[in-house]
Amino acid sequence: MSRSPVATSTHCPYCALQCAQRLTPADASCDSSAPAATAARRVAGGAATQPAGDAPVVVEGRDFPTNRGGLCQKGWTSATLLQAPDRLTAPLVRGPDGTLVPTSWEVALDLVAGQLARIRAEDGPDAVAVFGGGGLTNEKAYQLGKFARVALGTANIDYNGRFCMSSAAAAANRSLGIDRGLPFPLTDLSRADAVLLLGSNLAETMPPSVAHLAEVRARGGLVVVDPRRSATAELAADSQGLHLQPLPGTDLVVLLALVHILLSEGLADTAYLEERTEGLEDVRRRSALWWPERAEQVCGVPADQLRAAARLLAAASPSSGGRGAFVLTGRGVEQSRQGTATVSAAINLALVLGLPGRVGSGYGAVTGQGNGQGGREHGQKCDQLPGYRMIDDPAARTHVAGVWGVDPDTLPGKGKPALELLASLGTHGGPRALLVHGSNLLVSAPNAQLVAARLRSLELLVVCDFVPSETALLADVVLPVTQWAEEEGTMTSLEGRILRRRKAIEPPAGVRSELWVWAQLAARLGAAGTWDTDPRLVFDELARASHGGRADYGGVSHERLDRDDASAVVFWPCPAVAAGEPEHPGTPRLFGDSFPTPSGRARLVAVDHVGPADDLRPDAPIHLVTGRVLQHYQSGAQTRRVPSLATAVPGPRVEVHPLLAARLGVADGRRVRLTTARGSMVLPVRVSDAIRPDTVFVPFHWGGPEGVNQLTSDATDPVSGMPEFKVCAVDVSVDSPDGATRPVPAAGATR
């Protein structure tokens, strides 16, 4: 690998916080005057870890509003992945004996294009499907959507963001008129008197973000809703805040009760509600059914804690003279069959308090994947075109088709959301071929054994990746592509900030960018339009395609983002302006004057609790919840290849409360069997009083026999298509050497 002669300013390859980094060539770091050698290793959430000795670059944290120079363990060790020993460096094709063997790019691309052309000719364009990822750059996300609809002509495209932000997006769009994870800069959190955080363990998933909660914690204003006493819940409890520990799947009840208390005790911002919202009376009638004592019977949170949380938020709100308050949601409450309803209730709560559109207050959803925000704005979702335009809108089709140089009537309509798409693979009338980009479906999808069966039924599975993930190892063709430090492009952070990803090193010989791959395939398929491979040119086209849409990038370019001044810090929407006019400054905060809805008002949406699809029953009397650990990310395909992270947490353990452990007769390290309606697995125990006695917790970063998503429910939210990852019913039994098991004895409610 050749190296850049100077340090490169870029951003971390992992989560949507997109911490700023500086990458210095490893040989330059030997110079004591080099920035990487002298920088203090400020780490939130763990000790600083230097990259391996053979890593081509050394990482240092770069001062930036979101991370303030800090990085987490994953960020500090990110350079190690550039030298992963099993890095893919040549295309692989499955041979007659069933093994993947190296081949040339020409052979691999000819094979893929030939198979795609044959399948389309036999069964039409929808016989081919595409599955994308929230880690792709904006340029790649855009070009992938274009490739699916123009080069392939298929409606069948969706992406793993359906597993991440779809419920929050659906709720925000119908209530607020727009979906931007945080419609305000992350730094605004420090101004507030109170922050309510539901379903997000920031201290482990985005450790540097916790610094923005320091002042709120000092004022005793952090309220965390989580069935586990997570690291973030500990921060609340240790600072005189509140930790509400509901029964899994009942967060919606908590929110309904909070709204009930605010309305019944006269704590709502009535002037704001009258001037800026609609739908209050329906919400008032629905929340009237959820007085605190009734809510306690369902969610298990004591009524006095619910009242304390509501009054704390009310006192912090601007109408009460407080500094402000925020309501934030994360995957823990969104990955549910009532995820959209839960986020709608959270938005209702924020509106009743009069928060959205006021500086130092608001509602937001904590985006997870690195480009989870930008990845869903520009065409990877089955129902969207670039700029967050809807694919069934004639005006949107005309605009985007004009940029693409095609007839709008040739563009397909809506496709299937992710779970429905995956379930249709290889079935009669379903897709016969699938192209996967930036996703590891065998680990990240729910009911993973069924997904594996569907992938095996395909005639053609093509996977682009830079390491042999579990999904890549199942493919017929594997195409080796660039990773973060080897490419140019842009990412959009959880707060809607458009950021530059910059190339620091050359990729290994034989590795190509997906932009080049799609251009090559488009040429072989005789696709209309132009297929640029230069990320700058692709972004310029994206900007034109998004112009006038909800997610308008029209006034942004690589050149603008590369300026070394404040104008490079750009939040969308940022529309293009007429020649000679000052460029649009971007929009750090939304909703100041109005909401982008037909009436200009935010809409309160009446919702109610229905509970998990897979609820407790005699043969599955325990709740299973899943989540993350500090050292690993998503499916673990990257972090499991970093030795220091893999050594720190080599595999999953099932977190069990001491009372449940006593009932089972197990201690730390003893193996138990977890069985749901979808499968069974055996894991060692970790006894912890941080979990509820009626609940077990398993992290999801591993595949194969350690992959907990083989147990999770594939029930979906009827509005968003989000799978119900976060809660299902499980039987827990002692695993003995002879294979016999002893189930959990029957017991009463343990709320």
* Residues 175 and 198 sit within 8 Å (Cβ to Cβ): no
Using CA atoms, how far residue 623 sits from 159, 616, 657, 692, 694, in Å, is: 28, 7, 12, 9, 6
Question: How many CB atoms are closer than 10 A to CB 553?
Answer: 32
Least Cα distance to 328 among 140, 508, 186 occurs for 186
Residue 567: per-residue pLDDT: 62
d(CA 181, CA 201): 16
Mean pLDDT of 364-385: 92
pLDDT at 669 > cutoff 90 = yes
Query: Same domain for 150 and 266?
Result: no
Q: Considering the domain boundaries, does residue 576 fall inside one?
A: no
Query: Same domain for 496 and 633?
Result: no
First to last CA, the chain: 57
Q: What are the tens digits of pLDDT across the range 412-453?
A: 999 999 999 999 999 999 999 999 999 999 999 999 999 999
pLDDT at 538 > cutoff 90 = yes
Residue 112 neighbours by CB under 8 Å, 6+ apart: 460, 462, 477, 521
Q: Considering the domain boundaries, does residue 589 fall inside one?
A: no
What total number of domains does the chain contain? 4
Mean pLDDT of 23-45: 47
Query: Same domain for 433 and 462?
Result: yes
Mean pLDDT of 230-252: 96
Q: Considering the domain boundaries, does residue 413 fall inside one?
A: yes
Q: What are the tens digits of pLDDT across the range 299-337?
A: 999 999 999 999 999 999 999 999 999 999 999 999 999
Residue 48: per-residue pLDDT: 29
pLDDT at 383 > cutoff 90 = yes
d(CA 265, CA 612): 30
CATH number at residue 720: 2.40.40.20
Mean pLDDT of 510-538: 97
Q: Considering the domain boundaries, does residue 734 fall inside one?
A: yes
Residue 37: pLDDT band (50, 70, 90) is very low
d(CA 500, CA 504): 12
Query: Same domain for 254 and 324?
Result: yes
pLDDT at 512 > cutoff 80 = yes
CATH number at residue 386: 3.40.50.740
Query: Same domain for 250 and 310?
Result: yes
CATH number at residue 199: 3.40.228.10
d(CA 164, CA 315): 32
Residue 28: pLDDT band (50, 70, 90) is low
Residue 457: per-residue pLDDT: 97
E-state strands within 452-572? 460-465, 477-480, 489-492, 497-501, 570-571
Residue 565: per-residue pLDDT: 66
pLDDT at 120 > cutoff 60 = yes
Among residues 33, 64, 83, which one ends one of the domains? Answer: 83
d(CA 481, CA 497): 26
Query: Same domain for 439 and 481?
Result: yes
pLDDT at 638 > cutoff 80 = yes
Range of the domain at 104: 92-163+372-531
Query: Same domain for 523 and 502?
Result: yes
Q: What are the tens digits of pLDDT across the range 172-190?
A: 999 999 999 999 999 999 9
Give the global pTM: 0.93
Query: Same domain for 177 and 142?
Result: no
Residue 161: per-residue pLDDT: 87
Residue 49: per-residue pLDDT: 29
Among residues 493, 514, 531, which one ends one of the domains? Answer: 531
Q: What are the tens digits of pLDDT across the range 500-509?
A: 999 999 999 9
Which carries the bigger pLDDT value, residue 736 or residue 714?
Answer: 714
Residue 683: per-residue pLDDT: 97
Q: Considering the domain boundaries, does residue 615 fall inside one?
A: no
Residue 165: pLDDT band (50, 70, 90) is confident
**Torsion sign, CA atoms 200, 206, 207, 208:** negative
Q: What are the tens digits of pLDDT across the range 577-618?
A: 999 999 999 999 999 999 999 999 999 999 999 999 999 999
Query: Same domain for 223 and 257?
Result: yes
* Residues 124 and 382 sit within 8 Å (Cβ to Cβ): no
Question: How many CB atoms are closer than 10 A to CB 573?
Answer: 25
Residue 393: per-residue pLDDT: 97
Mean pLDDT of 702-714: 94
Query: Same domain for 492 and 381?
Result: yes
Query: Same domain for 478 and 382?
Result: yes
Q: What are the tens digits of pLDDT across the range 51-89?
A: 344 689 999 999 999 999 999 999 999 999 999 999 999
Q: What are the tens digits of pLDDT across the range 247-263?
A: 999 999 999 999 999 99
Residue 367: pLDDT band (50, 70, 90) is confident
Q: List the Cα angle 602/256/624 in 5-degree steps.
A: 115
Mean pLDDT value across the chain: 92
Residue 467: per-residue pLDDT: 96
Q: Considering the domain boundaries, does residue 116 fall inside one?
A: yes
Residue 38: per-residue pLDDT: 29
Q: Considering the domain boundaries, does residue 516 fall inside one?
A: yes
Question: 563 is written with which tokens?
Answer: 């300026």
Q: What are the tens digits of pLDDT across the range 470-507?
A: 999 999 999 999 999 999 999 999 999 999 999 999 99
Query: Same domain for 171 and 276?
Result: yes
Q: Considering the domain boundaries, does residue 613 fall inside one?
A: no
- In this structure, the strands spanning 671-676 and 679-687 are antiparallel
Among residues 337, 365, 393, which one ends one of the domains? Answer: 365
